[in-house]
Amino acid sequence: MAEELVYVPREALRQLFFTQLVNSGLPEKFSEKTADLMIFADERGIHSHGAVRAEYYSNRIKAKGYNLQPTLHFEQTGPCSGIYHGDNAIGHYVAYKAMEEAIAMAKHKGIAVVGVKEMGHSGAIGYYARQAALEGMVALTVCQSDPMVVPFGGAKPYFGTNPIAFATPKREGKPILFDMATTVQAWGKILDARSKGKMIPDTWAVDDQGEPTTNPHAVAALLPAAGPKGYGLMMMIDILAGSLLGLPFGQHVTSMYKDLSEYRRLGQLHIVINPAFFGDADRFLAQISQMVDELHAIPPSKGFDQVYYPGEIQEMMIEKYRESGIPVAKEIYDYLTQ
C-alpha cells in the first residue's frame, strides 16, 4: 500500500526544514541555505533531495559528521581559477559560497573554474548552476559522490551517482536548467520510493546478487544511465571533482550512510562563463529564446502534449505545488513536526 501523503505549503515546509536543522545543532546561516536547497528540490518535484533527506541531515549533524565551526576561505590559484576550502562544513552552504566566487570572477575575467574542496553533501546541484544563470552567466557544475553504482559490465559498485548540472539565462523568464545524475535514477529516488511505499522500475537498480529489482528496499547498487555512456560520464566527473582537487576518488570516497560521524571530504567543480566575452551577449540571449520557441513549435509525438526544453517540466511543478502544497510522506511530515 502506498504511503499516505501530506500536502504542505512551500513556506511552511521550508520553515520545518530550517527548524529541524537548527534544533539538530546546525548554525543558522548553514541551516538557512540548506533549507533553501531542500525546498528548491521539493517544489520542483525533485523529491529525492528534499524532505526525504531531513532525518539523514539531522542525524549526521548530531553525530558531528559535519564541521559545525569550519574555517571557510577562497584561494585564487590563477587568473581564472580558484579553490574554495569547505573544511567539511555542510555542502549546501559551501557550494553556494564557492559559486558566488566563481560568478564574481567570471564577470570580470570572462570565465571561472572553481573547485570546491572537502565538503558534505550539497543537495540538488542544479541550484548552483541556476545561481549563476540568474546573474547572466552560463554555468556547468559537477559533483562526486560515494560508490553506489556498478560500472558497465561490473557487479560491484565503484563510482557514485556523480551528478552534472548546466544552466543558461535566456532573454525572458526563468533560466534553463538541466540537472541529472549519471545513473538511471538518483539514490534519493530510491529513498523517495521507500518512504512512499512504491515499487521502482527494474531498470533502475540491482540487488546484492547483481540482479535487477523492483523492490526499493532490496537495492544494493544503481545502474549507470545509458550503460557505457553514463559510466563514462561518472568517471569524467569523479576525475574533475575529485582527483583534480587531490581528493579521494571512486571507491575511496567516504560513504554517505555507513558512519555518520565521519567527514565526507567531497569535491565539486563550478565552471562559469560570461557570454559577453565570447560574442554579443544580447544576441546570445535572443538565440536561446528563439531555440526555446522553436522547440515548443515542434509537433509532439503520440502520447505527448508538446515538446519542452530540459528542466521545463520541473519549473512547471512550482505552480502546481503552489496550489496544492508540496507532497510529503506522512511519516516524514510527522518526523518534522514532532
Burial of 52 (0-12, 13-18, 19+ CB in 10 A): buried
Contacts of 122 (CB under 8 A, 6+ apart): 37, 91, 92, 94, 95, 116, 128, 143, 266, 268
Choose which CATH entry (1.10.1530.10, 2.40.160.60, 3.20.20.70, 2.102.10.10) describes domain 5-62+319-337: 1.10.1530.10
The predicted structure's pLDDT at residue 2 = 55
* Long-range pairs of 309-314 with CB within 8 A, sequence gap ≥ 24: 309/176, 310/176, 310/177, 310/178, 311/126, 311/176, 311/177, 311/178, 311/179, 312/176, 313/45, 314/44, 314/45, 314/46, 314/177
The alpha carbon torsion through 313, 317, 318, 319 (nearest 10 deg) reads 100
The predicted structure's pLDDT at residue 155 = 86
Q: Give φ, ψ of 273 to 5 degrees.
A: -125, 135
The alpha carbon torsion through 48, 249, 138, 76 (nearest 10 deg) reads 130
Q: Give φ, ψ of 156 to 5 degrees.
A: -130, 135
The predicted structure's pLDDT at residue 189 = 85
The count of residues in the chain is 338
The predicted structure's pLDDT at residue 188 = 77
The alpha carbon torsion through 319, 191, 187, 205 (nearest 10 deg) reads -120
Share of the chain above pLDDT 90, in %: 91
CA atoms of 68 and 284, how far apart (whole Å): 42
Could you give the residue range(s) of every CATH 3.30.1370.60 domain in the chain?
A: 73-183+224-277
**What residue ranges of the chain have pLDDT lower than 50?**
1
The predicted structure's pLDDT at residue 1 = 46
Among all chains, which residue has been given the C-alpha cell 563514462?
Answer: 232
The answer to whether the CB of 131 falls within 8 A of the CB of 37 is no
Among all chains, which residue has been given the C-alpha cell 584561494?
Answer: 75
Active-site position among 49, 92, 121, 270: 121
The predicted structure's pLDDT at residue 74 = 98
CA atoms of 96 and 109, how far apart (whole Å): 20
Distance, first Cα to last Cα, the chain? 24
Q: Is 217 a catalytic residue?
A: no
**Degrees (nearest 5) of the Cα angle 244, 179, 303?**
145
State the CATH architecture for 73-183+224-277.
2-Layer Sandwich (3.30)
Report CA-CA distances (Å) from 288 to 111, 172, 279.
19, 10, 14
The predicted structure's pLDDT at residue 209 = 87
